Amino acid sequence: MAIRTEEQLSAFIQETVRSTPVTDIHTHLFAESFGDLLLWGIDELLTYHYLIAEMFRFRPDLPYETFWSMTKQQQADLIWQTLFIENSPYSEACRGVVTVLSRLGLDLSTRDLNEYRKYFEQFSSSEYIDRILSLSGVRSVAMTNDPFDAYERARWEEGAGQNDSRFLTALRIDPLLNGWDQAYLTLQQQGYQVAQDFSGDTIQEVRRFLQDWIGRIDPLYMAVSLPDDFAYPEASVRGRVIDECILPVAREAGIPFALMIGVKRQVNPSLKYAGDSLGRSDIGAVERIVSRNQDVKFLITMLSRENQHELAVTARKNRNLLVFGCWWFLNNPSLIEEMTRMRLELLGGSVIPQHSDCRILDQLIYKWDHSREIIAKVLCDKYGDLFRAGWRLEEEEIQRDIAGLLGGAFWNFLGKPDPAAV
Ligand code: REL
Ligand code: ZN
């Protein structure tokens, strides 16, 4: 059906963005069969590392060790008191908790954390997964599957990961690229004949390791996060692992290599896993890796705001590069809007505007609610421009485009149908 007025256009866009199911291409969530790796509930929400970092800013006298020696519930109490009671929770990470509590139907006027805790006790993990996926309108999520994690490896050996098609797999291989001096030992323990100095069969054995894990978990892609000083090509262990192991395996398996570039790990180790930061990276490295390996597909996101424009332009020049998400410190409304606007202007619908990076299941609600609102706002402007220029749209065309942005473009890029699509 054709859209006749601008008001009708905006209302239709907003409703379609709100109701179109999402494929969330990068999260740290897990299916129920992965046991303790699946995090959900109020105490997990409050102890999200984004909030830990924010809490310490308001408690200059709190020794780091005091916080780390507390139980999770005590940590959550302190974060609630600091960020929600003694201050107003308008930072994006705090607002996220408010959105979640509100959409779960909890009474925000009480601000009673113990009351909220009771609410979560009524659900089993499996009921809660159903509830959150339904409330957030997320159809499927990609996990971050780490073959270097002993607990996760044990779950795979028990057959985890095979019975819930809403949880997709992604092979995460950071230690191979960022910590070879330890990683080679883990590979040896898993039966691969690798040497620290790369002698002998090391290259073939690293490839065999990757191929075995691809065979075991059938990942959508292989992924790594990289520091801000990532260089390519490079005469280093990382350079060799990329060129001689990962790229040949990605090429042969026909799966993309996902690069998340720009992390400065542990700038403040006292903050533990909340202590990472970011830096601007060299777009030249991205240009070279994608253009010299045109028969490999690359999913790329960068962490620095300053890299966003050049990354989008690099994607214009290389169809084997699909830009995705507003990652981590970019996942704030002002930056999501700026980036989404710029990307749609440069790339049309050949982009994945957002991923959630959720670590806690409940966060799917806020990360997608907040992003959908911004994506809809930008689309209203873009379709509005077309409308005022005289271009008339059918509802089906808008539905097609939005389905692309929220998942279809990803599946097209992979060259696979969305298994969860009905
Ligand atoms: O996948 C990654 O490397 C990052 O997204 C995470 O390490 C990070 O801690 C995450 O929570 C950011 O959103
Ligand atoms: Zn992540």
ipTM score assigned to the predicted complex = 0.99
One-letter amino acid for residue 340 of the chain = T
| 168 φ, ψ (degrees, to nearest 5) | -95, 160
Which ligand sits nearest to residue 173's alpha carbon?
1
Residue 115 located in a structural domain: no
Q: Which atom of ligand 1 is nearest to the CA of 273?
A: 9
Ramachandran sector of residue 171 (left: φ over 0; alpha: ψ -120 to 50; beta: rest): beta
Residue 416 Cα distances to 36, 93, 109, 212, 411, angstroms: 31, 34, 47, 21, 5
Instruction: Please say whether the beta carbons of 171 and 221 come within 8 A.
Output: yes
Residue 209 domain boundaries: 6-40+138-414
Q: Which of 272, 357, 358, 359 to mutate to test the pocket of ligand 1 (most atoms within 8 A of CB)?
A: 357
Residue 53 located in a structural domain: no
Q: What is the CATH number of the domain that holds 197?
A: 3.20.20.140
Residue 120 located in a structural domain: no
Q: Which of 29, 49, 225, 361 to mutate to test the pocket of ligand 1 (most atoms within 8 A of CB)?
A: 225
pLDDT per 10-residue tile (average), the chain, 422 residues? 96 98 98 97 98 98 98 98 98 99 98 98 98 98 98 95 93 98 98 97 98 98 98 97 98 98 98 98 98 98 99 98 99 98 98 98 99 99 98 98 98 94 72
Residue 121 located in a structural domain: no
Nearest CA to ligand 1 atom 7: 225
> Is the CB of 225 inside a 6 Å radius of any atom of ligand 1?
yes
> Is the CB of 359 inside a 6 Å radius of any atom of ligand 1?
yes
Residue 61 located in a structural domain: no
Within 291-367, strands assigned E span: 298-302, 321-323
pLDDT, residue 420, reads 84
Count of CA atoms in the C-beta half-sphere (13 A) of 125: 14
One-letter amino acid for residue 38 of the chain = L
Residue 108 located in a structural domain: no
Nearest alpha carbon to residue 323 among 333, 306, 340:
340
When divided into structural domains, the chain yields a total of 1
pLDDT, residue 161, reads 83
Instruction: Please say whether the beta carbons of 407 and 23 come within 8 A.
Output: yes
Residue 63 located in a structural domain: no
Helix 333-347 × helix 308-317 angle, to 10° = 20
Which ligand sits nearest to residue 50's alpha carbon?
1
pLDDT, residue 422, reads 63
